[in-house]
Amino acid sequence: MKNFIHYPYLFVLYLFNNIIAYIPSHYIRKIFLRIVGGKIGKRSRIDIGCFIALPRKLTIGESTHINRGCILQPFAPIIIE
């Protein structure tokens, strides 16, 4: 029964990594990353096609650029500055 609690979050991660990640607007990807629990600084960009496994454990500093096709799997907290 406890596994059903995670289904909405897994669906949101699916949306982020398979649909939102390919929208050609880094503003939309940035907003959605904040919605799913990631922290991203001002003037930071995430390019098209980035895969982020667990956005809750990801912190991206200011003026940081995550390039196209990057795979981030923060099973432990990751801080990029």
Tokens of 68: 């196209």
- For 32, phi and psi rounded to 5 degrees? -65, -35
CB 17 within 8 A of CB 51: yes
CA atoms within 13 A on the CB side of 31: 6
Residue 2 has pLDDT above 70, yes or no: no
Check whether 3 has a pLDDT greater than 80: no
Strand extents, DSSP E, the chain: 39-40, 45-46, 51-52, 58-60, 65-66, 71-72, 78-80
Distance from C-alpha of 70 to C-alpha of 75, rounded to nearest angstrom? 16
pTM: 0.79
